[in-house]
Amino acid sequence: MKKVFLLAIALALFVFPSVSNAQVAITAVPFLQIEPDSRGAAMGNTGVAIADNAAAMFWNPAGLAFQTDNQISITHSNWLANFNVSDLFYDYLVGKYYVEGIGTIGAHLTYLNLGEQARTGEQSADVISKFNSYELAFGLSYGFEVNKNLALGTSLRLIYSSLATGTTVSQQRVNPGSSVAVDLAMLYKSNPFMIGGNEARFSGGFNLSNVGPGMQYTDNAQKDPLPTLLRFGVAFDYNLDPEGFNRITIASDVTKIMARKKEVIRTQAGVSDTMFVASGPIEALFDSWGTFTRNNGQEIVELGLIQQFMIGAGAEYWYNNLFALRGGYYYEDPENGDRKYITFGAGLRYNSFGIDFSYIKTLESDHPLANTLRFSVLLNF
């Protein structure tokens, strides 16, 4: 028998640690949960209630309804910099286009390169063959106004995951996984109101993303669920002076993974064994609100509903819509991923060109996400 060293899968677990810890097993394609734009990432991973640029397709596609400009943006990050792996990187390309009488339509492409892996023999470290691992998703988004304050939005996403294609694990051939997912979103923006003589505005919304059938990599009919996320967000925007040259936005998002695996006892030839099977995408929306137990590697623990929520909060300051400073904080329960980090970032705008960057400062120096940088370039036309 031959043994496959699936470094690609191990890296995928680190991409979003809370996924690997929060379920009985893991969800598939956790790269779909990486916050793609540097602006939202710098604000503690918030954006559901802001959603005012092309990255709204990730945070809240309903935000496209309030946008009437055209924009292209690309984000690049050398992912998991602490691993010091040169061919591990993340790219996100997004564009939106306004059509008179129809609204704003967007498209996005997400790509995570996991690098080159080696397949070795069971009894030796001799390299038998090499293969490349990567994951990608392509999607279309649309938002439309219900009225001047309320908008709805949706996205359709095609997902492809090639982790160890062509190799064999436990006599099961590993194939590329593929699936399709939809997002459903809502965004509310209040009318401007006055506080202390200056204009302010409140917004709030939600985005239910990546709802779809699970991913299957082998021919044993066992599927892993998609990383379905439910995000709620609020934001408060306030002009610090009557002219609006100085403006501040405070935002917060609360996120929950809406995925479950259920225990199934299977009997074949009089022998019973236990399998963990992904709940259906609709079934999981209801099943995932209760407590559940899991093995954290040391003991069996019970994870309550409150512990399952991930919280991000951040602030952004703009001067004359030319220069921005950002900061935020992100928190997960110790039994649900245990990610805690501070985020920083800045942005520049000049005519139709813009650039943003974000930086993660983890509270643990050896954390896989420590020192992660994202760079985004925007072009309005």
Q: What digits encode the pLDDT tens for the residues 154-184?
A: 999 999 999 877 676 666 778 889 999 999 9
What type of residue is 368?
P
Q: List, in sequence order, every residue forming a beta bridge with 379; answer none if it has no partner.
A: 72, 353
4 has a pLDDT exceeding 50:
no
The residue that leads in pLDDT, 360 or 277, is 360
Judge whether 64 and 142 are in contact, CB under 8 Å. Answer: yes
Quick count: other Cβ atoms within 10 Å of Cβ 195? Answer: 10
- pLDDT, tens digit, 9 for 90 and up, residues 72-89: 999 999 887 777 777 889
Tokens of 259: 């995925």
Q: What is the structure's pLDDT at 285?
A: 87
Percent over 90 (pLDDT), the chain: 59
Nearest to 285 by CA among 198, 161, 184: 184
Q: How are beta strands 271-278 and 353-362 bridged, if at all?
A: unpaired
pLDDT at 116: 78
For tokens 């959603």, name the residue. 51
Q: What is the pLDDT of residues 279-333, one digit of tens each?
A: 778 888 888 888 877 666 677 788 899 999 999 999 999 999 999 999 999 999 9
Domains, the chain, ordered by start: 34-208+231-256+288-380 (2.40.160.60)
Reference 16, options 289, 229, 276; nearest CA is 229
Going by C-alpha positions, the residue among 36, 143, 124 that lies closest to residue 79 is 36
Which conformational region is residue 84 in: left (phi greater than 0), alpha (psi within -120 to 50 degrees), or beta? left
Per-residue confidence at 11, pLDDT binned at 50, 70, 90?
very low
Distance in angstroms (rounded) separating the CA atoms of residues 217 and 224: 9
Query: Taking a C-beta distance cutoff of 8 angstroms, is the pair 259, 278 a contact?
Result: yes
Residue 52: φ, ψ to 5°: -115, 15
Region 94-122: mean pLDDT is: 88
What does DSSP say about strands 2-4 and 103-121: parallel, antiparallel, or unpaired? antiparallel
Whether 56 shows a pLDDT value over 60: the answer reads yes
Helices (H), 131-197: none
pLDDT of residue 7: 41
Nearest to 79 by CA among 52, 41, 44: 41
Q: Give the pair of three-digit tokens for residue 171.
A: 């006599």
Q: How many angstroms separate the CA atoms of 21 and 215, rounded?
A: 18
Buried b (16+ CB within 10 A) or exposed e, 361-380: ebeeeebbbbebbbebebeb
pLDDT at 283: 85
Q: What is the pLDDT of residue 83?
A: 72
The answer to whether residue 103 scores a pLDDT higher than 50 is yes
The answer, yes or no, to whether residue 346 has pLDDT greater than 70, is yes
**Spatial contact of 202 and 191, defined as CB atoms under 8 Å apart:** no
Residues contacting residue 377 through CB under 8 Å, at least 6 positions apart: 73, 74, 353, 354, 355
